[in-house]
Structure 1
Amino acid sequence: MPDMRLILALTLLAAPAFAQDTESVCPTAPDHAAEAAEIIARLQRTGNEMQARPLADRLWQLWTDAPDAKAQALLDEGMAKREGYDFLGARDTFDTLVEYCPDYAEGYNQRAFASFLRQEYDAALYDLDKALAITPTHIAAMSGKALTLMGLGRMEEAQEVLRDALALNPWLKERGLLQEPAGTDL
């Protein structure tokens, strides 16, 4: 029969490892899909940009509602670094966020923004596609993808993505970049 003191000692030694293991698992992001869909429907009915602005702000609040305090701290830190023009530091922080929470769209979207600002369009496009795979109606990721495709010189694709984004929110600032399809009289 095994020595109970040995079993107890091994259990106590293993406990911190198990505790650390559960801390490294990102919980599921809050489900804001119903509220986001309602806001998007309201954006589509809104009569002007002034009315659309608070709705778009609310979408940002939903998108940046991270799965837990650790993820929120990483998101906030990365955004602060980006706003301070530390694009590489921001990308490193978003790398950590994406590794921790691979199913959280905003981690990819923010990392894409940091890459876009460095004119690393291929990296930005990869992350925007990941964000949109998780949250297909992420309007900011859609408009970011349109801008990234423009940066890559892929204008037709960019216009298609921009049209899709404007179908969800006709008041996007990027609407001024929309071009009429070829063969259309202005």
Structure 2
Amino acid sequence: MPTELDELFERLRTATAPLEIEALQSGIWQIWLSTGEPGPDKLLEAGMRAMSAGDHTLAIAEFDELIAAIPDYAEGWNKRATAYYLRGEYRASLRDIAQTLRREPRHFGALGGQAIILRQLGEVRRALRVLNRLAGLCPHLPGLGEQRRELRERLAENRDGEIG
């Protein structure tokens, strides 16, 4: 029997209207942003507050505790990846994104972040692969087609695919 999350993802795959896509993503985020346990939920909230306040070191520490408490909770890894990204630690962010996707392969937030980082690192071919994967989840995501087209054009201009 499909879960609520599975149903939201199925609807996201076929949604075409930007407002519908946004609403479905919001519903998915609501599910992702709860561990279902009070202690870990407090760690998640504390880490998100620290990140919002620009204290990325504190955010990472909170997310470290969350990951230690619930290692299979994908959003703990994703939030720490975001904090690392905001601190400019792209390789650490990519490692945590990989952990996120290992636990939740449909995590469109992690995929979007991964594509951004790979583009910034000049890894255009890998970024395009990630965007293609994202298109499998939500083919009509606003702006996705343009991003994919731009990367394909960049690759056509430079055959090695590793350009800035």
Relative to the length of structure 2, the TM-score reads 0.84
Q: Quick one: which amino acid aligns to residue 177 of structure 1?
A: Q
CA distance in 2, matches of 1:80, 1:151: 26
1:154 aligns with 2:107: no
Deviations 1:106-149 (A, max 9, x none): 00000000011112111000000001111111111111111122
Deviations 1:28-51 (A, max 9, x none): xxxxx7222211221122221111
Gaps of 5+ in 2: 157-164
The structure 2 residue matched to 1:130, chosen from 87, 95, 99, is 99
Report the aligned-residue RMSD.
Answer: 1.9
Contact in 2 for aligned 1:121/1:151 (Cα 8 Å): no
- Percent identity of the aligned residues? 32
CA distance in 2, matches of 1:90, 1:171: 33
Contact in 1 for aligned 2:128/2:151 (Cα 8 Å): no
Change beyond 3 A, Cα 1:110–1:39 = same
CA distance in 1, matches of 2:120, 2:104: 23
Deviations 1:44-77 (A, max 9, x none): 2222111111110001011111141111000011
Contact in 2 for aligned 1:143/1:174 (Cα 8 Å): no
Contact in 1 for aligned 2:40/2:66 (Cα 8 Å): yes
SS in 1 for 2:12: helix
The structure 2 residue matched to 1:177, chosen from 147, 155, 159, is 147
CA distance in 1, matches of 2:52, 2:140: 24
Q: Which has the larger radius of gyration?
A: 1
Q: How many residues align?
A: 152
What is the deviation of 1:159?
1.2
